[in-house]
Amino acid sequence: MVRKRTKKETFEFIFVFSMLILAALFVIGYISNPNGSQAEIFFAKAKDYMGDFINVVKYTAGRDPYFNTLNGLGEKPYLPLAYVIMFVLGKIAKYNSSYITLKSWGYTTSTIFTLICAVVFFFQLYFLKNGNKLTKLLTIGVMFASGIFLFSFERGNLIFLSAIFTAFYLINYNSSNKVLKEAAFICLALAAALKVYPALLGILLIYDKRYKEAFRVIIYGVVCSFLPFLFFHGGLSNIPQWIENVRLNSAGYLYSVFPRFGQHFVLNQLLSEGILTKVTVDFIDTIITILIYLTVGLLLIINKYQEIRWKKLCLLTVMVLLLPVNSALYNGLYLFTIIVYFLNEDNKRKGDLVYLILFIIALNPFQLLIGSYNLTYLTINLSISLLFILLIVDNFHFVLTKNKFMK
């Protein structure tokens, strides 16, 4: 007698099967026309291969990244840990002293480094996923065939390191092993020192009233974020320029049209096509931004009472995606850990199928274009916004029906 598939197994099957179909459509389209619509999965159709790696190495070669004028000061908004890492990798890549002309070995270094990070991330998720080996391999494999992964790999961005550190934190911050738990705290500090916004996940310790541990994370974060300034010319005196560079970066990307999360993607598409004026875009953007920040403030409190682990983690992760102005598509790597937790959940609930569909849409690699307009990027963006709204409704419904908030 054939055993009936459980709801959890059904979800896994739908996820893997759907992603395999989408990946197959992408591969067929890309092979048939490498410069066609499927090439849109890569930034600028991969004409700037490993751009996020190579450009940052250029900025750090003179050990003065915050005042480096190549491509403008707004392109140097990172905290110094990222530049220290890229400086070291630049030395391995044998960049010449002018830091502008590159040797081909630089592209090899960037690809190998990104590949190593991807492999580490893969096995993190593989060991986190429950089930038999085939289920684990297929589930994580199709995630690594997603549009988000392929876009991220082509960029060569340090987001991979941040995603690895963040995943380690989420997996081990409650560990009974003291060494692993402390390592998890350090990893969160490193992730925040690289990309800032993962620091939001530190509130999980506040939820559990682990105030001493939260304080240690803050100390680790301050050390990882600001001590590396001493490596560069000017030391801590670079901090005011770093703050100015962050401001310039946000202002410079506010109206840019590129694959990213948040309302700016949709508004700037409408602005570029002349459907909306800049005044209208500014007005709508201001209203949405205010609503998001007000909502986030309340949700950070209410999320404490959410008992479903993956939903609690997902809400915080979606905030990490939606809050930055320059939240490029590669930030979606943070979702991978959450999707594994979601698929691991045995007790599937009413409405979870909607979440599954939204995750599949977010990972979709198949590029659907109408004219020059990329509907895939639009649907990916909207799926994250809908995910945020659903989690808000879910949280409010949970605390009200369980009377948690009043208690």
Question: Over 90: is that where the pLDDT of 379 sits?
Answer: yes
Residue 324 included in any domain? yes
The better pLDDT of the pair 397, 83 is held by 83
Give mean pLDDT, residues 390-402. 83
Tokens of 176: 């009974």
Name the residue range of residue 60's domain: 7-401
Which DSSP helix (H) or strand (E) runs through 399?
Answer: helix 375-401
Domain contains 2: no
Which SS3 state, helix, strand or coil, does residue 373 take? strand
Task: Count CA atoms closer than 13 A to 157's CA, side-chain side.
Answer: 22
386: confidence class by pLDDT, cuts 50, 70, 90: very high
Cα–Cα distances (Å) from 377 to 211, 307, 351, 368, 369, in that order, read 40, 32, 24, 9, 9
Percent of the chain at pLDDT exceeding 90: 66
Highest mean pLDDT: which range of 39-48, 162-171, 268-277, 319-328: 162-171
Residue 193 pLDDT? 97
Looking at residue 291, its pLDDT comes to 85
Name, in order, each residue with C-beta under 8 angstroms of 385's C-beta and a sequence gap of 6 or more. Answer: 263, 322
Do the domain assignments include residue 231? yes
Higher pLDDT, 296 or 341: 341
pLDDT at 159: 96
Of the given ranges (67-81, 179-193, 258-272, 328-342), which has the lowest mean pLDDT? 258-272
**pLDDT at residue 399 in the model:** 77
Helices (H), 303-374: 309-322, 334-344, 352-363
Q: How many domains does the chain have?
A: 1
- Does the residue 339 lie in any domain? yes
Cα→Cα distances 256→272, 279, 281, 290, 333, Å: 9, 16, 12, 20, 22
Q: What is the mean pLDDT of residues 388-398?
A: 88
The predicted structure's pLDDT at residue 97: 46
What is the band of 102 on the pLDDT scale with cuts at 50, 70, 90? low
Give the pLDDT of residue 99. 47
Instruction: Give the contacts of 2 (CB within 8 A, at least 6 positions apart).
Output: none
Residue-level pLDDT at 5? 79
Across the chain, mean pLDDT equals 90
Collapsing DSSP states into helix, strand and coil, what is residue 74? helix
Q: Model's pTM, two decimal places? A: 0.93
The pLDDT value recorded for residue 131 is 92
Does 62 reside within a domain?
yes
| Rounded mean pLDDT, 158-162 | 96
More confident residue, 264 or 158: 158
Q: Which pLDDT band holds residue 1 (cuts at 50, 70, 90)?
A: low
Token pair for 126 = 């593989």
Question: What share of the chain in percent tops pLDDT 70?
Answer: 95
According to the model, what pLDDT value does residue 63 have?
A: 93
User: Is 393 exposed, middle or buried (CB count within 10 Å of its CB: 0-12, 13-18, 19+)?
Assistant: exposed
Quick: pLDDT tens for 185-236.
999 999 999 999 999 999 999 999 999 999 999 999 999 999 999 999 999 9
Q: Is residue 145 part of a domain?
A: yes
181 within some domain: yes
Rounded distance between C-alpha atoms, residue 42 and residue 44, angstroms: 6
Distances (CA, A) of 84 to 61, 241, 350: 10, 17, 47
- State yes or no: pLDDT of 58 exceeds 50: yes
Asked if the structure places residue 407 within a domain, the reply is: no
